[in-house]
Amino acid sequence: MSYLSKMIIPLFVLFVIFYGYKKKVLIYDSFLEGAKEGLITVFNIFPSILAMVFAINIFLNSNILETIFGVLTPILDKLSLPINILPMAFVRPISGTASLAIMNEIFVNFGPDSFVGRLASTIQGCTDTTIYVLALYFGSIKINKTRYALSTGLFADLIGIIASFIIVSLIF
Amino acid sequence: MINKIWGFFIIVGIIFMLIFGRVTELNDTILTSATSGVNMILDLLPIIVLWSGIMKIAEKSGLLNSIGNFMKPVLSKLFPSLKKDSKALGYITSNIAANAMGLGSAATPFGLKAMEEMQKENKNKDTASDAMITFLVLNTSGVTIIPTTVIALRMMHGSSNPEEIIITAILATIAASFAGLTLDYIRRRKRK
Protein backbone atom coordinates (compact mmCIF):
# COMPACT_ATOMS: atom_id res chain seq x y z
CA MET A 1 0.00 0.00 0.00
CA SER A 2 2.74 2.48 0.88
CA TYR A 3 4.58 1.53 -2.33
CA LEU A 4 1.45 2.36 -4.32
CA SER A 5 1.17 5.71 -2.53
CA LYS A 6 4.81 6.43 -3.28
CA MET A 7 4.27 5.87 -7.01
CA ILE A 8 1.35 8.25 -7.48
CA ILE A 9 3.16 11.60 -7.40
CA PRO A 10 6.19 10.63 -9.55
CA LEU A 11 4.00 8.92 -12.18
CA PHE A 12 1.59 11.84 -12.19
CA VAL A 13 4.39 14.38 -12.70
CA LEU A 14 5.98 12.22 -15.41
CA PHE A 15 2.64 11.84 -17.19
CA VAL A 16 1.79 15.56 -17.11
CA ILE A 17 5.22 16.65 -18.36
CA PHE A 18 5.36 13.93 -21.03
CA TYR A 19 1.82 14.71 -22.23
CA GLY A 20 2.68 18.42 -22.46
CA TYR A 21 5.89 17.60 -24.31
CA LYS A 22 4.07 15.42 -26.82
CA LYS A 23 1.38 18.04 -27.41
CA LYS A 24 4.18 20.55 -28.12
CA VAL A 25 3.19 22.85 -25.27
CA LEU A 26 5.86 25.29 -24.09
CA ILE A 27 6.20 23.33 -20.87
CA TYR A 28 8.84 25.48 -19.20
CA ASP A 29 6.99 28.71 -19.93
CA SER A 30 3.70 27.19 -18.81
CA PHE A 31 5.32 26.07 -15.58
CA LEU A 32 6.57 29.57 -14.86
CA GLU A 33 3.17 31.05 -15.63
CA GLY A 34 1.47 28.61 -13.26
CA ALA A 35 4.09 29.06 -10.54
CA LYS A 36 3.52 32.81 -10.67
CA GLU A 37 -0.21 32.23 -10.18
CA GLY A 38 0.62 29.91 -7.29
CA LEU A 39 2.61 32.69 -5.65
CA ILE A 40 -0.40 34.99 -5.94
CA THR A 41 -2.62 32.26 -4.44
CA VAL A 42 -0.31 31.97 -1.42
CA PHE A 43 -0.30 35.76 -1.05
CA ASN A 44 -4.12 35.79 -1.17
CA ILE A 45 -4.70 33.00 1.35
CA PHE A 46 -2.14 34.27 3.86
CA PRO A 47 -4.54 36.60 5.76
CA SER A 48 -7.15 33.87 6.18
CA ILE A 49 -4.51 31.36 7.33
CA LEU A 50 -3.22 33.85 9.89
CA ALA A 51 -6.75 34.67 11.09
CA MET A 52 -7.64 31.01 11.51
CA VAL A 53 -4.38 30.00 13.22
CA PHE A 54 -4.93 32.89 15.66
CA ALA A 55 -8.50 31.84 16.55
CA ILE A 56 -7.80 28.10 16.59
CA ASN A 57 -4.69 28.46 18.79
CA ILE A 58 -6.58 30.46 21.41
CA PHE A 59 -9.49 28.03 21.38
CA LEU A 60 -7.45 24.83 21.55
CA ASN A 61 -4.88 26.15 24.05
CA SER A 62 -7.66 27.23 26.42
CA ASN A 63 -8.27 23.50 27.08
CA ILE A 64 -12.00 24.19 27.10
CA LEU A 65 -12.66 20.99 25.17
CA GLU A 66 -10.79 18.86 27.69
CA THR A 67 -12.78 20.49 30.51
CA ILE A 68 -16.25 20.25 28.96
CA PHE A 69 -15.91 16.94 27.16
CA GLY A 70 -13.73 15.42 29.88
CA VAL A 71 -16.39 12.77 30.40
CA LEU A 72 -15.79 11.53 26.88
CA THR A 73 -12.02 11.16 27.27
CA PRO A 74 -12.07 7.52 28.48
CA ILE A 75 -14.05 6.52 25.37
CA LEU A 76 -11.83 8.60 23.07
CA ASP A 77 -8.70 7.20 24.73
CA LYS A 78 -9.87 3.70 23.98
CA LEU A 79 -10.07 4.66 20.31
CA SER A 80 -6.69 6.44 20.74
CA LEU A 81 -8.27 9.71 19.65
CA PRO A 82 -7.28 13.06 21.14
CA ILE A 83 -10.16 15.42 21.71
CA ASN A 84 -8.83 17.89 19.08
CA ILE A 85 -10.28 15.76 16.31
CA LEU A 86 -13.80 16.84 17.40
CA PRO A 87 -13.50 20.53 16.46
CA MET A 88 -11.78 19.50 13.23
CA ALA A 89 -14.69 17.30 12.21
CA PHE A 90 -17.06 20.09 13.20
CA VAL A 91 -15.41 22.92 11.21
CA ARG A 92 -14.45 20.83 8.16
CA PRO A 93 -17.72 21.53 6.25
CA ILE A 94 -17.59 25.25 7.12
CA SER A 95 -14.00 26.35 6.58
CA GLY A 96 -11.18 24.50 4.88
CA THR A 97 -8.64 26.92 6.35
CA ALA A 98 -9.89 26.40 9.91
CA SER A 99 -9.69 22.62 9.63
CA LEU A 100 -6.25 22.94 8.02
CA ALA A 101 -5.12 25.02 11.01
CA ILE A 102 -6.44 22.37 13.44
CA MET A 103 -4.72 19.62 11.43
CA ASN A 104 -1.49 21.64 11.69
CA GLU A 105 -1.97 21.88 15.49
CA ILE A 106 -2.46 18.11 15.64
CA PHE A 107 0.80 17.60 13.69
CA VAL A 108 2.64 19.90 16.12
CA ASN A 109 1.31 18.10 19.20
CA PHE A 110 1.09 14.47 18.10
CA GLY A 111 3.13 14.26 14.89
CA PRO A 112 1.88 13.55 11.35
CA ASP A 113 2.61 9.81 11.64
CA SER A 114 0.52 9.30 14.79
CA PHE A 115 -2.89 7.68 14.43
CA VAL A 116 -4.67 11.01 14.88
CA GLY A 117 -2.21 12.70 12.53
CA ARG A 118 -3.06 10.24 9.78
CA LEU A 119 -6.76 10.48 10.57
CA ALA A 120 -6.71 14.29 10.41
CA SER A 121 -4.81 14.14 7.08
CA THR A 122 -7.36 11.74 5.62
CA ILE A 123 -10.34 13.80 6.79
CA GLN A 124 -8.77 16.97 5.38
CA GLY A 125 -8.08 15.23 2.07
CA CYS A 126 -11.40 13.45 1.61
CA THR A 127 -14.01 16.16 1.80
CA ASP A 128 -14.63 19.74 0.76
CA THR A 129 -16.20 22.69 2.57
CA THR A 130 -19.85 21.77 1.95
CA ILE A 131 -21.53 24.78 3.54
CA TYR A 132 -19.23 27.26 1.81
CA VAL A 133 -19.68 25.63 -1.60
CA LEU A 134 -23.48 25.53 -1.28
CA ALA A 135 -23.60 29.21 -0.24
CA LEU A 136 -21.35 30.24 -3.13
CA TYR A 137 -23.02 28.20 -5.89
CA PHE A 138 -26.65 28.68 -4.90
CA GLY A 139 -25.99 32.35 -4.10
CA SER A 140 -24.55 32.94 -7.57
CA ILE A 141 -27.89 32.08 -9.26
CA LYS A 142 -30.08 33.45 -6.45
CA ILE A 143 -31.62 30.19 -5.31
CA ASN A 144 -32.88 30.27 -1.74
CA LYS A 145 -34.96 27.08 -1.60
CA THR A 146 -32.19 24.49 -1.52
CA ARG A 147 -34.44 21.52 -0.63
CA TYR A 148 -32.42 18.52 0.59
CA ALA A 149 -29.02 19.74 -0.70
CA LEU A 150 -27.51 20.73 2.66
CA SER A 151 -28.56 17.66 4.63
CA THR A 152 -27.39 15.33 1.84
CA GLY A 153 -24.04 17.13 1.59
CA LEU A 154 -23.50 17.00 5.35
CA PHE A 155 -24.50 13.33 5.40
CA ALA A 156 -21.77 12.64 2.82
CA ASP A 157 -19.27 14.54 5.00
CA LEU A 158 -20.25 12.51 8.05
CA ILE A 159 -19.81 9.25 6.14
CA GLY A 160 -16.45 10.54 4.88
CA ILE A 161 -15.27 11.16 8.46
CA ILE A 162 -16.50 7.78 9.71
CA ALA A 163 -14.96 6.06 6.68
CA SER A 164 -11.65 7.88 7.31
CA PHE A 165 -11.59 6.50 10.85
CA ILE A 166 -12.32 2.94 9.73
CA ILE A 167 -9.90 3.04 6.77
CA VAL A 168 -7.01 4.55 8.76
CA SER A 169 -7.57 1.97 11.54
CA LEU A 170 -7.50 -0.88 9.04
CA ILE A 171 -4.60 0.21 6.83
CA PHE A 172 -2.04 1.44 9.37
CA MET B 1 -21.40 31.91 9.43
CA ILE B 2 -17.61 32.01 9.24
CA ASN B 3 -17.66 35.36 11.09
CA LYS B 4 -19.65 33.87 13.96
CA ILE B 5 -17.43 30.82 14.29
CA TRP B 6 -14.22 32.83 14.16
CA GLY B 7 -15.53 35.16 16.88
CA PHE B 8 -16.79 32.21 18.91
CA PHE B 9 -13.35 30.53 18.98
CA ILE B 10 -11.61 33.70 20.14
CA ILE B 11 -14.19 34.95 22.65
CA VAL B 12 -14.78 31.56 24.29
CA GLY B 13 -11.05 30.76 24.38
CA ILE B 14 -10.04 34.09 25.95
CA ILE B 15 -12.85 34.13 28.56
CA PHE B 16 -12.14 30.54 29.51
CA MET B 17 -8.43 31.20 30.03
CA LEU B 18 -9.16 34.40 32.00
CA ILE B 19 -11.55 32.52 34.33
CA PHE B 20 -8.84 29.99 35.13
CA GLY B 21 -6.25 32.76 35.62
CA ARG B 22 -3.91 31.53 32.87
CA VAL B 23 -3.06 35.08 31.81
CA THR B 24 0.63 34.54 30.99
CA GLU B 25 -0.22 31.58 28.78
CA LEU B 26 -2.97 33.59 27.11
CA ASN B 27 -0.52 36.38 26.28
CA ASP B 28 1.92 33.86 24.84
CA THR B 29 -0.77 32.24 22.74
CA ILE B 30 -1.96 35.53 21.27
CA LEU B 31 1.53 36.81 20.51
CA THR B 32 2.95 33.58 19.08
CA SER B 33 -0.03 32.70 16.91
CA ALA B 34 1.08 35.23 14.27
CA THR B 35 4.42 33.44 14.05
CA SER B 36 2.62 30.08 13.81
CA GLY B 37 0.53 31.48 10.96
CA VAL B 38 3.62 32.65 9.10
CA ASN B 39 5.31 29.28 9.64
CA MET B 40 2.28 27.49 8.26
CA ILE B 41 2.14 29.61 5.11
CA LEU B 42 5.89 29.14 4.63
CA ASP B 43 5.36 25.38 4.90
CA LEU B 44 2.70 25.58 2.20
CA LEU B 45 4.38 28.08 -0.12
CA PRO B 46 6.89 25.83 -1.94
CA ILE B 47 4.44 23.08 -2.79
CA ILE B 48 1.61 25.38 -3.84
CA VAL B 49 3.95 27.25 -6.22
CA LEU B 50 5.51 24.05 -7.60
CA TRP B 51 2.17 22.29 -8.05
CA SER B 52 0.51 25.31 -9.68
CA GLY B 53 3.34 25.27 -12.22
CA ILE B 54 2.90 21.58 -13.02
CA MET B 55 -0.87 21.92 -13.20
CA LYS B 56 -0.59 24.80 -15.66
CA ILE B 57 1.09 22.34 -18.03
CA ALA B 58 -1.81 19.91 -17.54
CA GLU B 59 -4.25 22.69 -18.32
CA LYS B 60 -2.45 24.04 -21.41
CA SER B 61 -1.78 20.65 -22.95
CA GLY B 62 -5.49 19.82 -22.91
CA LEU B 63 -4.99 17.01 -20.40
CA LEU B 64 -7.75 18.42 -18.23
CA ASN B 65 -10.18 18.31 -21.17
CA SER B 66 -9.23 14.73 -22.06
CA ILE B 67 -9.84 13.60 -18.49
CA GLY B 68 -13.18 15.40 -18.59
CA ASN B 69 -14.19 13.62 -21.82
CA PHE B 70 -13.13 10.32 -20.32
CA MET B 71 -15.43 10.82 -17.32
CA LYS B 72 -18.40 12.18 -19.26
CA PRO B 73 -20.24 8.90 -20.00
CA VAL B 74 -20.19 7.95 -16.30
CA LEU B 75 -21.21 11.40 -15.12
CA SER B 76 -24.08 11.68 -17.59
CA LYS B 77 -25.71 8.65 -15.95
CA LEU B 78 -25.80 10.52 -12.64
CA PHE B 79 -27.75 13.37 -14.24
CA PRO B 80 -30.78 11.80 -15.95
CA SER B 81 -32.49 15.20 -16.25
CA LEU B 82 -29.66 16.68 -18.36
CA LYS B 83 -29.22 15.99 -22.06
CA LYS B 84 -26.00 14.17 -23.00
CA ASP B 85 -24.80 17.04 -25.17
CA SER B 86 -25.94 19.84 -22.87
CA LYS B 87 -23.55 22.64 -22.00
CA ALA B 88 -24.25 22.09 -18.31
CA LEU B 89 -22.86 18.55 -18.43
CA GLY B 90 -19.71 19.85 -20.14
CA TYR B 91 -19.12 22.37 -17.37
CA ILE B 92 -19.88 19.76 -14.71
CA THR B 93 -17.23 17.40 -16.11
CA SER B 94 -14.67 20.23 -16.33
CA ASN B 95 -15.42 21.19 -12.73
CA ILE B 96 -15.06 17.64 -11.41
CA ALA B 97 -11.88 17.05 -13.45
CA ALA B 98 -10.29 20.29 -12.20
CA ASN B 99 -11.24 19.45 -8.61
CA ALA B 100 -9.78 15.97 -8.95
CA MET B 101 -6.49 17.45 -10.11
CA GLY B 102 -6.48 19.78 -7.12
CA LEU B 103 -7.09 22.87 -9.24
CA GLY B 104 -9.59 24.46 -6.88
CA SER B 105 -9.28 27.94 -8.36
CA ALA B 106 -9.80 26.66 -11.90
CA ALA B 107 -12.74 24.48 -10.82
CA THR B 108 -14.90 27.24 -9.36
CA PRO B 109 -15.58 29.18 -12.62
CA PHE B 110 -16.66 25.91 -14.32
CA GLY B 111 -18.94 25.15 -11.37
CA LEU B 112 -20.56 28.59 -11.52
CA LYS B 113 -21.11 28.19 -15.30
CA ALA B 114 -22.67 24.77 -14.71
CA MET B 115 -25.10 26.28 -12.19
CA GLU B 116 -26.00 29.05 -14.67
CA GLU B 117 -26.74 26.52 -17.41
CA MET B 118 -28.85 24.35 -15.11
CA GLN B 119 -30.75 27.44 -13.95
CA LYS B 120 -31.83 28.08 -17.59
CA GLU B 121 -33.66 24.74 -17.65
CA ASN B 122 -35.00 25.17 -14.12
CA LYS B 123 -38.77 25.84 -13.85
CA ASN B 124 -38.82 27.42 -10.38
CA LYS B 125 -36.03 29.98 -10.42
CA ASP B 126 -35.78 30.25 -6.64
CA THR B 127 -35.76 26.49 -6.00
CA ALA B 128 -32.87 24.07 -6.52
CA SER B 129 -33.40 21.54 -9.33
CA ASP B 130 -32.60 17.82 -9.03
CA ALA B 131 -29.50 18.14 -11.20
CA MET B 132 -28.15 21.05 -9.15
CA ILE B 133 -28.38 19.06 -5.94
CA THR B 134 -26.68 16.01 -7.45
CA PHE B 135 -23.90 18.25 -8.78
CA LEU B 136 -23.29 19.92 -5.43
CA VAL B 137 -23.34 16.65 -3.50
CA LEU B 138 -20.72 15.30 -5.90
CA ASN B 139 -18.72 18.53 -5.77
CA THR B 140 -18.66 18.82 -1.97
CA SER B 141 -17.48 15.27 -1.38
CA GLY B 142 -14.36 16.67 -3.08
CA VAL B 143 -12.69 14.14 -5.32
CA THR B 144 -9.05 15.25 -5.02
CA ILE B 145 -6.49 12.72 -6.21
CA ILE B 146 -3.44 14.39 -4.69
CA PRO B 147 -4.16 16.58 -1.63
CA THR B 148 -0.99 18.70 -1.94
CA THR B 149 -1.53 21.01 1.05
CA VAL B 150 -1.96 18.05 3.40
CA ILE B 151 1.14 16.34 2.00
CA ALA B 152 3.19 19.56 2.29
CA LEU B 153 2.29 20.06 5.96
CA ARG B 154 2.98 16.39 6.74
CA MET B 155 6.39 16.67 5.11
CA MET B 156 7.27 19.88 6.99
CA HIS B 157 6.37 18.25 10.31
CA GLY B 158 8.80 15.43 9.68
CA SER B 159 6.54 12.62 8.46
CA SER B 160 8.54 9.60 7.36
CA ASN B 161 6.01 8.95 4.62
CA PRO B 162 4.05 12.15 3.82
CA GLU B 163 2.24 10.75 0.78
CA GLU B 164 0.93 7.63 2.50
CA ILE B 165 -2.44 9.31 3.08
CA ILE B 166 -3.21 9.59 -0.65
CA ILE B 167 -4.79 6.14 -0.77
CA THR B 168 -6.73 6.49 2.49
CA ALA B 169 -8.06 9.89 1.35
CA ILE B 170 -9.16 8.48 -2.02
CA LEU B 171 -10.91 5.53 -0.35
CA ALA B 172 -12.67 7.82 2.14
CA THR B 173 -13.69 10.13 -0.71
CA ILE B 174 -15.23 7.24 -2.61
CA ALA B 175 -17.20 6.20 0.49
CA ALA B 176 -18.43 9.78 1.04
CA SER B 177 -19.39 10.33 -2.62
CA PHE B 178 -21.15 6.98 -2.81
CA ALA B 179 -23.12 7.67 0.38
CA GLY B 180 -24.03 11.17 -0.78
CA LEU B 181 -25.14 10.08 -4.25
CA THR B 182 -27.17 7.18 -2.86
CA LEU B 183 -29.05 9.40 -0.42
CA ASP B 184 -29.56 11.95 -3.22
CA TYR B 185 -30.97 9.23 -5.48
CA ILE B 186 -33.35 7.94 -2.80
CA ARG B 187 -34.66 11.41 -2.01
CA ARG B 188 -35.08 12.31 -5.68
CA ARG B 189 -37.08 9.11 -6.26
CA LYS B 190 -39.24 9.51 -3.17
CA ARG B 191 -40.68 12.77 -4.41
CA LYS B 192 -42.03 11.24 -7.64
Chain CA centroid to CA B121, Å: 26
- Chain B residues in contact with A124 by the CB 8 A cut-off are 147, 149-150
So where are chain B's domains? Answer: 1-56, 62-190
What's the ipTM? 0.90
So where are chain A's domains? Answer: 47-171
CA distance B135 to A149: 10
How far apart are the CA of A64 and the nearest CA of chain B, in angstroms?
7
What pLDDT does B180 receive? 95
pLDDT at B192 over 70: no
- The residue ranges of chain A whose pLDDT is under 50 are none
C-alpha to C-alpha distances, A151 to A115, B53, B169, nearest whole angstrom: 29, 37, 22
What pLDDT does A1 receive? 66
pLDDT per residue as tens digits for the range B52-90: 999 899 989 998 888 888 888 988 999 999 988 889 999
At B127 the three-state DSSP class reads: strand
Which has the closest alpha carbon to B78: B127, B141, B170? B141
- Chain A residues in contact with B78 by the CB 8 A cut-off are none
B167 exposed, middle or buried (CB, 10 Å; 0-12, 13-18, 19+)?
middle
Name the strand (E) or helix (H) holding A166: helix A149-171
Q: What is the CA radius of gyration of chain B?
A: 21
Q: Please count the residues of chain B.
A: 192
pLDDT bucket at B101, cuts 50 / 70 / 90: confident
* Mean pLDDT of the residues in chain B: 90
CA distance A86 to A109: 15
pLDDT per residue as tens digits for the range A86-96: 889 888 888 88
How far apart are the CA of B73 and the nearest CA of chain A, in angstroms?
23
How far apart are the CA of A77 and the nearest CA of chain B, in angstroms?
22
Backbone angles phi, psi at A145, to 5 degrees: -95, 100
Name the strand (E) or helix (H) holding B115: helix B104-120
Q: Could you give the angle at the alpha carbon of B60 between the alpha carbons of B168 and B140, nearest 5°?
A: 35
- Chain A residues in contact with B14 by the CB 8 A cut-off are 58, 62
Which has the closest alpha carbon to A105: A91, A119, A120? A120
Which of A13, A107, A167 lies closest to B157 in CB terms?
A107
